[in-house]
């Protein structure tokens, strides 16, 4: 990909104070202590905390494009305590105590991201304003009440139920509020973290494609890397490697950003700086107020592509962008004909059971983490700390968390994978329509929730 194309990957890439010029590729064969596949947040956070545990380690990061090329530089900018599986689901699978430990770790991670960014002098537009989830129908209001009640029953998450007097989205009957979320600029985070790692001696090789890996050796198009530990940090892009081809499904999520809006308009909208927002529809939408007063707004709706294919043309689906703009206008009619200035998308990683995980096999010295299903801005940090402790043999509460060495089933071979993934997308659309028409909770959504463990 030509250098000047990286600027157009997303609104975040367009506005990061960085020329995005690629670093040099791997010059040939290399020997290091730790080799990390992937220059996204999982890989960079792992390198950061490995050095915290053992500053003598030699670490190399191998990236096919540039640091932050993938989901780490294209996401919605929510640094939240969300985990792909609910607390109740984690309790059913791992037990109540394990579920509560996972929730505490995720909540603490939000502040940890902000702390490290501040410590390295990187302004990432971090403001912890929480998430407002609008309830725009009686069905959605019942879902909001159930969410708040479930959180109260576990006693860790501090969810609140807001009445209609506190929300201004069109048709909102109320909302749930989760304080454990911060707005940030993801490209500023990932690019700043890379620079800080280089200052600590980590070498980042860009424009270097990993072909395959086995214990203690990585094969690239530029040479072989011998190492004591391999860290696979590829998220959705792992679908393109032989070792992880059926362990992750790349599911596309798309976004838009608007032109900046006046403060007076934001006062009418009722979204403060630092607040993120969503609602209780099944086909997920998510948004934030950016530091320069734009909407950055995204959602699901793009289909899964045969064979887990990932191609640049899949990043942009006009029908989905149009749907996102209509939806944003329906939520906040006051924006009128506000223009969309940026459109982008990219793949996120989905495990077969929608359960993120962090792995380390001492026999092979291979570590990995992923399956965040879009909840990666904070989860990647927790993954980095967890993998660092596992690799260095550090006893900590993190190494006993429920996601450590959790093994998700493999995705089905094609055509079952294609049919199942796209049927799930269609089902969520049907569920939203069913609830609008009947005013009752969708049985389709209940069936899909049971299949994904929610």
Residues 161-183: tens digit of each pLDDT: 999 999 999 999 999 999 999 99
Question: Residue 443's pLDDT band (boundaries 50, 70, 90)?
Answer: low
Length of the chain: 454
- Say which residues have a Cβ less than 8 Å from residue 336's Cβ, sequence separation at least 6: none
Separation of alpha carbons 146 and 159, rounded Å: 11
Residue 392 in tokens: 């260095």
In whole angstroms, what is the distance from residue 104 CA to residue 87 CA?
Answer: 11
Query: What does the buried/exposed string (b/e) look like for 191-217 if buried means 16 or more CB atoms within 10 Å of the residue's CB?
Result: bbbbebbeeeebbbbbbbebeebeeee
Q: How much is the average pLDDT of 112-136?
A: 98
Give the residue-averaged pLDDT of 349-375.
97
Counting DSSP H helices and E strands in the chain, the numbers are 11, 18
Confidence at residue 366, expressed as pLDDT on a 0 to 100 scale = 98
| pLDDT bucket at 2, cuts 50 / 70 / 90 | very low
Distance between CA 390 and CA 408 in Å, rounded?
Answer: 19
Per-residue pLDDT averaged across 115-142, rounded? Answer: 97
Domain 3-75+186-248+353-400: CATH architecture, name and number where available: 3-Layer(bba) Sandwich (3.50)
- Segment 293-316 mean pLDDT: 95
Q: What is the domain partition of the chain in residue ranges? A: 3-75+186-248+353-400, 412-454
- Burial track 405-431 (b if 16+ CB lie within 10 A, e otherwise): ebebeebeeeeebbeebeebbebbebb
Pick from 166-180, 214-228, 333-347, 419-433: least confident: 419-433
Instruction: Return mean pLDDT, the chain.
Output: 95
Q: Looking at residue 447, what is its pLDDT?
A: 55
* pLDDT at residue 449 in the model: 60
Contact 140, 182 (CB under 8 A): no
Looking at residue 450, its pLDDT comes to 58
Cα gap 79→99, rounded to integer Å = 20
Distance CA 60, CA 405 (A): 24
CA-to-CA dists, residue 257 to 53, 262, 279, 291, angstroms: 39, 15, 18, 12
| 57-73: average pLDDT | 98
Does position 437 have pLDDT exceeding 90, yes or no? no
Q: Beta-strand (E) ranges in 141-248? A: 160-162, 174-178, 181-183, 203-205, 210-214, 217-220, 223-232
| pLDDT at residue 102 greater than cutoff 70 | yes
Q: Say if residue 237's pLDDT is above 70.
A: yes
Alpha carbon separation from 167 to 128, 221, 269, 311 (Å, rounded): 18, 53, 9, 39
Do 117 and 183 touch, CB atoms closer than 8 A?
no
Q: pLDDT at residue 368 above 80? A: yes
| Residue 233 near residue 42, CB atoms below 8 Å | yes
State how far the alpha carbon of 399 is from the alpha carbons of 98, 101, 198, 396, 406, in Å: 12, 11, 27, 6, 12
Question: What band does 3 get if pLDDT is binned at 50, 70 and 90?
Answer: very low
Provide the token pair at 197: 């790692």
Whether residue 1 is predicted with pLDDT greater than 80 in this model: the reply is: no
Does the structure show a pLDDT above 90 at 271? yes
If you average pLDDT over residues 430-435, what whole number do you get?
Answer: 82
Peptide bond into 43 cis (omega under 30): no
pLDDT score at 415? 97
Q: Average of pLDDT values for 87-97? A: 98
Reported pTM: 0.96
């Amino acid at each position: 990909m030509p250098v000047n194309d990286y600027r157009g990957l997303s609104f975040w890439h367009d506005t990061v104070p960085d020329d995005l010029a690629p670093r040099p590729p791997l010059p040939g064969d290399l020997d290091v202590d730790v080799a990390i596949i992937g220059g996204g947040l999982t890989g960079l956070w792992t390198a950061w905390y490995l050095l915290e545990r053992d500053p003598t380690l030699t670490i190399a990061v191998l990236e096919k494009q540039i640091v932050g090329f993938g989901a780490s530089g294209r996401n919605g900018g929510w640094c939240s305590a969300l985990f792909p599986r609910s607390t109740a689901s984690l309790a059913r699978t791992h037990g109540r105590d394990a579920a509560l430990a996972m929730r505490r770790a995720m909540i603490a991670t939000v502040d940890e991201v902000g702390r490290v960014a501040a410590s390295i002098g990187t302004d990432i537009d971090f403001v912890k304003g929480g998430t407002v989830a609008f309830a725009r129908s009686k069905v959605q209001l019942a879902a909001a009440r159930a969410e708040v009640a479930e959180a109260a029953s576990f006693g860790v998450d501090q969810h609140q139920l807001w009445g209609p007097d506190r929300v201004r989205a069109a048709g909102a009957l109320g909302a749930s509020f989760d304080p454990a979320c911060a707005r940030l600029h993801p490209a500023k985070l990932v690019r700043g973290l890379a620079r800080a790692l280089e200052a600590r001696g980590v070498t980042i090789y860009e424009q270097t494609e990993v072909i395959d890996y086995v214990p203690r050796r990585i094969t690239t198009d530029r040479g072989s890397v011998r190492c004591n530990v391999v860290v696979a940090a590829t998220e959705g892009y792992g679908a393109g490697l032989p070792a992880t081809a059926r362990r992750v499904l790349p599911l596309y999520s798309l976004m838009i950003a608007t032109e900046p809006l006046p403060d007076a308009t934001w006062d009418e909208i009722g979204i403060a700086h630092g607040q993120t927002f969503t609602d209780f529809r099944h086909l997920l939408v998510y948004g934030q107020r950016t530091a320069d007063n734009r909407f950055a707004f995204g959602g699901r709706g793009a289909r899964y592509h045969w064979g887990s294919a990932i191609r640049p043309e899949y990043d942009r689906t006009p029908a989905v962008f149009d749907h996102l703009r209509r939806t944003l206008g329906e939520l906040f009619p006051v924006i009128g004909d506000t223009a969309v200035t940026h459109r982008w998308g990219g793949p996120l990683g989905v495990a077969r059971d929608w359960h993120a995980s962090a792995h380390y096999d001492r026999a092979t010295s291979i570590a990995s983490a992923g399956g965040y299903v879009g909840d990666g801005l904070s989860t990647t940090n927790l993954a980095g700390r967890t993998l660092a402790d596992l690799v260095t043999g550090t006893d900590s509460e993190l190494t006993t968390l429920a996601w450590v060495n959790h093994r998700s089933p493999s995705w089905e071979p094609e055509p079952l994978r294609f049919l199942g993934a796209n049927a799930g997308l269609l089902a969520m659309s049907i569920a939203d329509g069913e609830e609008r028409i009947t005013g009752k909770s969708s049985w389709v959504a209940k069936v899909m929730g049971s299949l994904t463990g929610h």
